[in-house]
Amino acid sequence: MKTKWNYRTPGIPDKFFIRGKVPMTKEEVRAVTLSKLRLKSDDIIVDIGAGTGSISIECALIAEDGLVYAVERKEEGIKLIKENSQIFEIDNIEIIQGIAPEILKEVPKVDKVIVGGSGGKLKEIFQWLELSLVESGRLVMNFITLENMYRAIELLKENGFKDIDVTQLFVSKGRSIANLTMMEGHNPVYIISAVKE
Amino acid sequence: MKTKWNYRTPGIPDKFFIRGKVPMTKEEVRAVTLSKLRLKSDDIIVDIGAGTGSISIECALIAEDGLVYAVERKEEGIKLIKENSQIFEIDNIEIIQGIAPEILKEVPKVDKVIVGGSGGKLKEIFQWLELSLVESGRLVMNFITLENMYRAIELLKENGFKDIDVTQLFVSKGRSIANLTMMEGHNPVYIISAVKE
Amino acid sequence: MKTKWNYRTPGIPDKFFIRGKVPMTKEEVRAVTLSKLRLKSDDIIVDIGAGTGSISIECALIAEDGLVYAVERKEEGIKLIKENSQIFEIDNIEIIQGIAPEILKEVPKVDKVIVGGSGGKLKEIFQWLELSLVESGRLVMNFITLENMYRAIELLKENGFKDIDVTQLFVSKGRSIANLTMMEGHNPVYIISAVKE
Amino acid sequence: MKTKWNYRTPGIPDKFFIRGKVPMTKEEVRAVTLSKLRLKSDDIIVDIGAGTGSISIECALIAEDGLVYAVERKEEGIKLIKENSQIFEIDNIEIIQGIAPEILKEVPKVDKVIVGGSGGKLKEIFQWLELSLVESGRLVMNFITLENMYRAIELLKENGFKDIDVTQLFVSKGRSIANLTMMEGHNPVYIISAVKE
């Protein structure tokens, strides 16, 4: 399998990434998440809860003159982000092991922020965004739990974010069984995006 | 509103396009459709059933050194594609009024094909693909009817396409009502993609 | 059309009800909502936010030796509940015009409660449930807004309800167009049920 | 756990059934499937592809003066139907091991038919329905594969069935994880029902 991605559209197939047992944002959810980020080629991006690094890598490929900070607390994730970065020949990802937002103190102003795994620190992340996300910077968050999704919407309102977009994506995928196409449902994901005032 | 799209990620918000009463592929479905196309900067693309031109325009922005043939049978659609092309300052879309595949006889070999409105001509379109889609070229089709979706899968198998991917996307979007977020369901869309052998 | 319902399964087709412009719980959501209620033939039931009365009527048909209190604040709804009750020849619905829970002070202990339209009074409704829902009584709530859905889950936990079931239902229905079946997506609904300790 | 079902609403919780490794129609899909059947207390019902018997048992509880023929080809399924029938104290299910429609030759005219697992014999099943389903009898079919769903719709039209209803149900269920509610998506199911002319 050719692994370097030669295309200009995001949504790299899941199977191109090494995953281990770390949960990965599926390709369709990733494509929509990236569309809500509205990336430019020189964006500085923070990906909180980077997991396998699949979103960080797509960001790094598109923001080729920019930089992606991939924040992940788990050793296994850090290892996967490194491996996947090598596979896709990425050199503009800076991997940061630790818990956001504490670990982000050294990170300068950023243009775009993705929250894929808040670890319950949503409130603190919003405090950090207040300082560190540029004006008109975009924030995109993915949630699979109802409570974090709700809290994120409340925090967006409390912190004066605008253009709040709440999208729920329910994807099912065909699997071939004996020449039939069986549809398998994925877990629904809430993709919430907004712009800093 | 600034209308020219300055970002490198597809999935331009619906409201940036002029629509009239022509049905439009919604932004999330568009983002996933484009991800399945795997565009390169110099791709030659045919968009069959271009409607408002929203997919053609996103293709033209990404395949900036390539060319998009936007095929649409209705006058109203043709008008919208022209208007939207102007808004996004596109000069690499060739608009073709008529019914595919007949109208495509003059079109040379193409790299990517999108079918957004088959008009019941799916079988003929596959005959044209046999001649006109390059080897390893990608085909992406969107369906909202069960019958056309089924026929497309059968035709893909009969014509030896490989890497057939069947994705159903069920999107719901939040609408603000009295400080509450009401979820509105969109119509589910089947996005079917494959590669020519 | 024969209007009296002669069947023992719930989920009466929407078209059998008079609706006006009042929003109605669709038949599939109604069938699942009733299944979560686990009705007995002699249940005393309160339906808060009865709307067209479709759920009240299904409850009244099943709890034929019981009683349904249909609570609705709007005049138009009250009129529809009356009309629909006549159509289905129901005599065990007591229609109460007003706002729950205030209006429910005279109502005795009840076995089952449905909340279809909380009008922002969720907290007060839970206080009333503390007094008025029997031990092991079931509560089923339908939500289309994220915030009320979230608050309901929190209130269930705070008030010690058990067997909390959170179900999201995303229904799409086929519509015949020129011998094709187009799928139309309904709004997703959260159906939340639980048992009083 | 009390296992006998004392309620008049269908949609018995999944956990009340013994399943083994046999796929089971989930409770919400079962509730909607039964609603489309429109059962009467004395209905004669055939359940083709009965699996664990969950639908047969719900039918038998509702059609308490009727009879359910539960058709299943696999030994494991037959065993589960027997066990589940005992748990729910059912005596109006006749279990038939074999392949429909061949095995149904001895079965008299029936009022309602459920198809949960066609085993590729859809065409033959429709020939049998022509003879064995009463006039105005209802047919409800559940599908998880696109091809069988399509064929069923075509066969309904070819055989002159009326009131064809195509419903797709996409259910997700909350799972408690560390005081959060994670939504898990089930596989989407097509529920297709119709009435014999």
Q: What is the pLDDT of residues C97-127, one digit of tens each?
A: 999 999 999 899 999 999 997 777 999 999 9
Q: Under an 8 Å CB criterion, which residues of A touch C? A: 146-147, 149-150, 153, 166, 168, 170, 188
Tell whether the model's pLDDT for residue B88 goes beyond 90. Answer: yes
Residue D35 to residue C10, Cβ atoms within 8 A: yes
Beta bridge partners of D69: D46, D94
Q: 3-state class of B102 per DSSP?
A: helix
**How far is CA D61 from each of CA C35, C125, D4, D57, D69, rounded to the nearest angstrom?**
14, 34, 10, 6, 13
Tell whether the model's pLDDT for residue B188 goes beyond 70. Answer: yes
Task: Provide the 10 A C-beta neighbour count for residue A131.
Answer: 10
Q: What is the pLDDT of residue C117?
A: 74
Give the closest residue to A177 by CA, choosing from D187, D99, D123.
D187
Tell whether the model's pLDDT for residue B3 goes beyond 90. Answer: no
For residues A15-28, average pLDDT: 94
Q: How far is A111 from chain B (nearest CA, A)?
A: 13
**Sign, CA torsion B18/B24/B30/B34:** negative
Percent of chain B that is helix, strand, coil (3-state, to 5):
30, 30, 35
* Architecture per CATH, A14-195: 3-Layer(aba) Sandwich (3.40)
What average pLDDT does the structure give for chain B?
95
**How far is CA A64 from each of CA A56, A89, A136, B59, rounded to the nearest angstrom?**
12, 12, 21, 20
Tell whether the model's pLDDT for residue B116 goes beyond 70. Answer: yes
Token match 């208007």: residue? B83
C150 chain-A contacts, CB cut-off 8 A: 146-147, 150
What tens-digit pLDDT sequence spans chain D (197 residues)? 445 899 999 999 999 999 988 889 999 999 999 999 999 999 999 999 999 999 999 999 999 999 999 999 999 999 999 999 999 999 999 999 999 999 999 899 999 999 997 777 999 999 999 999 999 999 999 999 999 999 999 999 999 999 999 999 999 999 999 899 999 999 999 999 999 98
A197 token code pair: 């005032």
**How far is CA D189 from each of CA B66, C169, D163, D167, rounded to the nearest angstrom?**
41, 12, 19, 8
Which of A169-173, C188-192, D3-7, D133-137 shows the lowest per-residue confidence on average (mean pLDDT)? D3-7
Examine the predicted complex and report whether its ipTM is higher than 0.90. yes
Q: What is the pLDDT of residue C2?
A: 46
Percent of chain A that is helix, strand, coil (3-state, to 5):
30, 30, 35
Residue D34 to residue C31, Cβ atoms within 8 A: yes
Q: Under an 8 Å CB criterion, which residues of A touch B? A: 6-11, 27-28, 31-32, 34-41, 62-63, 153, 164-174, 176, 181, 183
- Domain positions in chain A are 14-195
Task: Provide the 10 A C-beta neighbour count for residue B58.
Answer: 29
- Can you list the alpha helix ranges (DSSP code H) found in B2-135? 27-37, 54-62, 75-87, 122-132
**How far is CA B91 from each of CA A170, B44, B66, rounded to the nearest angstrom?**
36, 14, 10
How far apart are the C-alpha atoms of B5 and B2, rounded to whole Å?
Answer: 8
How far apart are the C-alpha atoms of D137 and C150, rounded to whole Å?
Answer: 43
Q: Which of D170, D183, D188 sits opposite A146 (nearest CB)?
A: D183
Q: What is the pLDDT of residue A77?
A: 96
A144 token code pair: 């699979």
Say if residues C163 and C141 touch (Cβ distance below 8 Å).
Answer: no
For residues B53-63, average pLDDT: 98
Burial class, D42, CB count within 10 angstroms (exposed 0-12 / middle 13-18 / buried 19+): exposed
Which amino acid does the sequence have at D68?
Answer: V
Percentage with pLDDT > 70 across chain C: 98
Q: Which of A8, A40, A174 sits opposite B41 (nearest CB)?
A: A8
Q: Which of B153, B170, B188 sits opposite D146 (nearest CB)?
A: B153
Of B126 and C106, more confident: B126
For residues A134-141, average pLDDT: 98
Tell whether the model's pLDDT for residue C74 goes beyond 60. Answer: yes
How far apart are the C-alpha atoms of C110 and C135, rounded to whole Å?
Answer: 10
Percentage with pLDDT > 90 across chain C: 92
Q: Under an 8 Å CB criterion, which residues of C touch A? A: 146-147, 149-150, 153, 166, 168, 170, 188
Which amino acid does the sequence have at D92?
Answer: N
Of D23 and B85, more confident: B85
Q: Under an 8 Å CB criterion, which residues of B touch D? A: 146-147, 149-150, 153, 166, 168, 170, 188
Q: What is the pLDDT of residue C3?
A: 57
Tell whether the model's pLDDT for residue A165 goes beyond 60. Answer: yes
How far apart are the C-alpha atoms of D186 and D169, rounded to whole Å?
Answer: 9
Which amino acid does the sequence have at C28?
Answer: E
Q: 3-state class of C160 per DSSP?
A: coil
